[in-house]
Chains A and B, each alone.
Chain A
Amino acid sequence: MPALLEAKGLKKTYRMGRVLVSALQGTTFDVAEGEFVAVFGPSGSGKSTLLHVLGGLDRPDEGEVSVDGVSLSTLNDNALAEVRLRKIGFVFQFFNLLPRLTALRNVELPLTLADLSEKESIKKAEDMLKLVGLEDRMNHRPSEMSGGEQQRIAIARALINDPKIVLADEPTGNLDTSTGGEIVQLMKRLNEEKGQTFVVVTHDPAIAETVDRIIYLKDGRIQRIKKGYGRL
């Protein structure tokens, strides 16, 4: 079976003030469809940069990413945005919801960007909110919700366009242990029930235990790849 996501020899250096930081130094790995993969590593190991490059938010200096058979390096900015819209869902550590929009409108946003009719997109967003268990918080704004609830909204938003893959950057990093656990459970459930592919960047060992595969990253290099326990 061809890999859903292929990363080949990714290199990325960026400038932090006067210092050149080598975030990725030739990273290569695959993710198969339906897999739940964790990228594990200490902070500063290049995890976030890797996730940005995988999701087409950033371009690698060298190397190649392909998602669902599409090589991202051949695409211009507009086409890349289109890939992010249709094939990739992002979940962030700080939720990154739009503060002035309600939960429903936040979830609906990618559908609006995809030019879906309002009636259809509201229906889909409502269904998605039910799936993450927040149908009664639909008309609340992010500031009126707990961190866990906000992250569920963010997950609902990531899933709304039926992406091929969801990329999550420290999704539990800003939550307490039990709420973080709930979020991990939700992702795991979506992975098992819908076959949703996840790549989660984390340094939370609790996540690492539940996934199919763990990629250990240090200083922009893969140290080892280990099979996870695949259980909660």
Chain B
Amino acid sequence: MAWESMRQRKLRAFLTTLGVVIGITAIIALASLGEGFRVSITERMEQGFELDVLTVIPGSLFAGYRYERFKDTDVENISRIANVSAVTPVMQIGSVTLYNGEKKATAFVAAATNFSEFQQVFSDRFELKEEAMPDPVENDTLIIGYKVNYPNKTETAFAFPREKINVTLSIPKQTIPPSVEYENYSFTVAGTLQEGGTSGLTNFDYWVFLPLDTARKIYETSLVDLIFVKVPDPEFSENVAEEIDALFPPYQITVLVPLSFIQQVDLILGTVQIFLTAIASISLLVAGIGIMNIMTVSVMERTREIGILKAIGAKSRTILTMFLAESLLIGLVGSLVGVPTGYGLAHVLSYIIARFAAFQPDWLRSPEVERAVIAPIFSWSWVIIAVIFGIAICILFGLYPARKAAKLDPVEALRYE
């Protein structure tokens, strides 16, 4: 019955259904694009952050109270925590200048660390480009970050393995007022680190590494500035971070947990996605009002028909069901068409975004344009939510005219011209 009466009013049914199609299309397009956006950002962040490495730094963002650097006992205590697989302390020296004869290079960070411990923590990244890690490590061994050694891809390297170079280090002096003296030290290059590329929390491309023991002698201190802690699986990171926190007085250190960053970002992006989808839902609401409008007109037009049906014995419930079935049909057809259309639209939008990214000026363009493409993600849960929402809207807005039809007085309805 519902189908037959819709066939009679083809254009009107088509336009009403189109409203629902547009609503569902908008929801699915924004939801799948939003999902793709969320996943692509989260993935890029996961590549950038090593989720299984926690960073312990002195001081607290909130208290502003600085713990006086870390002692060897702090490092030992941390390494004793359950589910800690490796620990490496780092003394940060700040920016240094390197000289190889006439050639000059700058490293933004000079890190003094125990190479083998450091490699245990950053096993994926702390590898030499040309050869194996130095073993044994001499006092004057130096590892150079990729961009330090190759500032321009076209030029030859600043230094090659086994070359001796000079490094200028700034040494603070206990004078009044405090001053800094620059001293030159000679190091032997062990090799260049692999190119990291990713723009994560720690990009070693602009770093140089020297042995911790050497730095301790030069600076006459055993204290370190930060501690990297590796856990066997990112899921342990929250617990381990809590235990590390417990080792120190409150608000004196900060443990950076990359997993919780990502979780926060993921949460924010999820909220944005829901917000966008909610805006898209407004169009479905508008479609629902369209249904109500068209159904009310339809009830008026079919008043006589309703009268006939009631006269030959149709119950009010039957009339109600008849009209609800019509709006349900509109919702169902609209949803079934809207879901693939929305997903298609998401692909078109993602293509347009990708083209737009390609036209960006060079200084805006990220090194990996291909990865800036957001692939829409098809998710059944969104499909189910959209279809249920679409049908619910249709039934809700169809209910008023349907009830109006069901409540018609048969005698009045039969008299209606």
A residues with CB within 8 A of B: 52, 55, 57-58, 77-78, 81-86, 88-90, 92, 96-98, 100-101, 109-110, 113-114, 157-158, 161
Number of interface residues of B (CB under 8 A): 20
Given known A-B contacts A57-B410, A100-B5, A101-B4, A84 and B311 have beta carbons under 8 A apart: yes
Whether B318 lies near A113 (C-beta < 8 A) is yes
Q: Which residue of chain B lies nearest to A14 when distances are taken between CB atoms in the complex?
A: B411
Looking across the interface, which residue of chain B has its beta carbon closest to that of A53?
B411
Min CB gap A66→B, angstroms? 18
Q: Is B166 an interface residue (CB 8 A)?
A: no
Interface readout for B391-417 with A: 1 if CB under 8 Å, 0 if not?
Answer: 000000000000000000011001000
Contact A58 B411 (CB under 8 A): yes
What residues of A have a CB within 8 angstroms of the CB of B307 in the complex? 96
Q: In the complex, which of the residues A58, A81, A89 has the most CB atoms of chain B within 10 Å of its own CB atom? A: A81
Contact B4 A81 (CB under 8 A): no
Nearest A-chain residue to B415, judged by Cβ: A48
Known: A90-B312, A96-B311, A110-B312. A78 touches B4 (CB 8 A): no
B147 in the interface (beta carbon within 8 A)? no
- Nearest residue in B to A160 (C-beta to C-beta)? B312
Known: A57-B410, A88-B313, A113-B318. 18 other contacts (CB 8 A): A55-B311, A58-B410, A77-B315, A81-B314, A81-B315, A82-B313, A82-B315, A84-B311, A84-B312, A85-B314, A86-B313, A90-B311, A96-B311, A98-B308, A100-B5, A114-B313, A157-B312, A158-B312
Complex interface: chain B residues within 8 A of A113 (CB): 309, 312-314, 318
Most buried by A among B311, B315, B317, B414: B311
B230 at the interface (CB under 8 A from A): no
Q: Are B316 and A92 in contact, CB atoms less than 8 angstroms apart? A: no
Give the contacting residue for B317; candidates A58, A78, A84, A85; CB below 8 A.
A78
Given contacts A100-B4, A100-B5, contact A85 B312 (CB under 8 A): yes
Interchain residue pairs A-B with the least CB separation, the first 4? A85-B313, A84-B313, A81-B315, A96-B308
At the interface, is chain B mostly helix, strand, loop or mixed?
Answer: helix
Interface residues of B in 321-369 (CB under 8 A from A): none
| A191 to B5 Cα, complex, angstroms | 36
Docked Cα-Cα span, A195 to B348, in Å, equals 72
Q: Does B304 contact A (CB under 8 A)?
A: yes
Which one of A58, A84, A88, A158 has the greatest number of beta carbons of chain B within 10 Å?
Answer: A84
Query: Smallest Cβ distance from B239 to chain A, in angstroms?
Result: 64
Tell me the complex Cα distance, A114–B331, Å.
28
Contacts between the two chains (Cβ within 8 Å), count: 62
**Minimum distance in angstroms from A125 CB to a CB of chain B:** 13
Query: With A92-B414, A100-B8 given, is the CB distance from A78 to B312 under 8 Å?
Result: no
Bound-state CA distance A161–B310 (Å) is 15
Q: In the assembled complex, which residues on chain A have CB atoms less than 8 Å from the CB atom of B74?
A: none
Which A residues are in CB contact (< 8 Å) with B308? 96-98
**With known contacts A96-B308, A98-B308, A100-B5, A52–B411 Cβ distance under 8 A:** yes
**A89 CA to B317 CA, complexed, in Å:** 20
> With A and B bound together, what is the CA distance between A84 and B309 in angstroms?
10
Task: Chain B residues near A78: list those with CB within 8 A.
Answer: 315-317
Closest to A49 in B: B411
List B contacts of A88 (CB < 8 A).
Answer: 313
Question: Closest CB of chain B to A226's CB: distance in Å?
Answer: 29
A77 and B313 contact, CB distance less than 8 A = no
B1-25 vs A, Cβ < 8 Å mask (1 yes, 0 no): 0001100100000000000000000
Chain B 285-329: CB-based contact to A (< 8 A → 1; otherwise 0): 000000000000000000011011111111111100000000000
Provide the bound-state CA to CA distance between A114 and B315, in Å. 10
Quick one: closest A residue to B302, CB to CB? A98
- Docked Cα-Cα span, A162 to B90, in Å, equals 98
A84: chain B residues at CB < 8 Å are 310-313
Give the residue name and chain of the A residue nearest to B305 (CB). A98
In the assembled complex, the Cα of A77 lies from the Cα of B320 at a distance in Å of 14
Given A100-B4, A100-B5, A109-B312 contact (CB < 8 Å): yes
Contacts of A92 on B, CB cut-off 8 Å?
Answer: 311, 414
A96–B414 CA distance with the chains assembled, in angstroms: 8
Distance between B301 CB and nearest chain A CB, rounded to angstroms: 11
Closest Cβ of chain A: how far from B183's Cβ, in Å?
Answer: 99
The chain A residue with its CB closest to the CB of B410 is A57
CB distance from B354 to the nearest CB of A (A): 50
Closest-by-CB residue of A relative to B8 is A100
Residues on A with C-beta less than 8 A from B315 are 77-78, 81-82
Tell me which residues across on chain A come within 8 A of B314, comparing CB atoms.
81, 85, 113
Residues of A within 8 A of B305 (CB): 98
| CA distance in complex: A158, B414 (Å) | 16
Q: In the complex, which residue of chain A has the Cβ closest to the Cβ of B317?
A: A78
State A100–B314 Cα separation when bound (angstroms): 18
* Residues of A contacting B4 in the complex (Cβ-Cβ under 8 angstroms): 100-101
User: Nearest chain B CB to A70's CB is how many angstroms away?
Assistant: 14
